[in-house]
Amino acid sequence: MVLELYLDLLSQPCRAIYIFAKKNNIPFQMHTVELRKGEHLSDAFARVNPMKRVPAMMDGGFTLCESVAILLYLAHKYKVPDHWYPQDLQARARVDEYLAWQHTGLRRSCLRALWHKVMFPVFLGEQIPPETLAATLAELDVNLQVLEDKFLQDKDFLVGPHISLADLVAITELMHPVGGGCSVFEGHPRLAAWYQRVEAAVGKDLFREAHEVILKVKDCPPADLIIKQKLMPRVLAMIQ
């Protein structure tokens, strides 16, 4: 049976999985679950993922619902090139270190930046106080500095000379605030150069394909009242 991936490319971890599968020629059937329509909250999708979140994966009768777990599953099952998740113990530990940090580090600040700058005012029709937005962008800059100084340092990629899962997860996170109009790479020349290397390693066409939705997010139509009422509690919980 064909591998099934439940994704919305608005979501940063969904983009990472999509790029990884495409880049490594992993055959899959994609089911788009439109977050802005609340499709992830449906009873039908709850039968795939009771937590009602994307991404989700079905491989025959086996279901998996967390993005890092899905990436590692695909890396092991399809025996992708070693640089994605190295066999070398210390190199693999560096990938694991980044993947463990990013959930409460970069992901949180990138998500908040997108929602406070674009999604609340444009999609939900809720204005964010200027001081809240300023605090959010300041938090983002702190985490960008950690990414640059602690993880990237003077290397070509986060773990060494080749792209890894860490780079893929990191760049898809950063494209959230980029899509929101944040000048993420200004003042961070090493990150700017790293971005170019990651895009080249993935392939510019695939990179742009995966990020088409997020780069147009400022033009999304406002949610209707029913969708807004359905989404608001989960959005508020997600960005706390």
At residue 239, does pLDDT exceed 90? no
At residue 238, does pLDDT exceed 90? no
Q: Looking at residue 108, which CATH number applies to its domain? A: 1.20.1050.10
* Residue 207 sits in the same domain as residue 93: yes
Torsion angles phi and psi, residue 78, rounded to 5: -100, 5
Q: Looking at residue 19, which CATH number applies to its domain? A: 3.40.30.10
> Domain total for the chain?
2
* Residue 68 sits in the same domain as residue 167: no
pLDDT band, residue 237 (cuts 50/70/90):
confident
Q: Nearest to residue 104, comparing CAs of 72, 142, 74, 130?
A: 142
Compute the residue count for the chain. Answer: 240
Summarize pLDDT for 226-235 with one digit per residue, the tens. Answer: 999 999 998 8
* Residue 26 sits in the same domain as residue 60: yes
* Residue 69 sits in the same domain as residue 112: no
Mean pLDDT of 148-167: 97
Q: How far apart are CA 46 and CA 164, in angstroms?
A: 31
Mean pLDDT of 197-217: 98
pTM: 0.96
Q: How far apart are CA 101 and CA 52, in angstroms?
A: 23
* Residue 78 sits in the same domain as residue 109: no
pLDDT reported for residue 19: 98
Mean pLDDT of 121-142: 96
Torsion angles phi and psi, residue 8, rounded to 5: -135, 120
* Residue 72 sits in the same domain as residue 19: yes
Contact 191, 152 (CB under 8 A): yes
Which of residues 66, 84, 102 is at a domain's end?
Answer: 84
The domain of 24 spans 3-84
* Residue 208 sits in the same domain as residue 155: yes
Summarize pLDDT for 72-129 with one digit per residue, the tens. Answer: 999 999 999 999 999 999 999 999 999 999 988 999 999 999 999 999 999 999 999 9
Where does the chain show beta strands of DSSP type E?
3-7, 28-32, 56-59, 62-64
User: ∠ CA 35-181-55 to the nearest 5 degrees?
Assistant: 25
Q: Nearest to residue 82, comparing CAs of 160, 173, 192, 16?
A: 160
In whole numbers, what is the pLDDT of the chain averaged over residues? 96
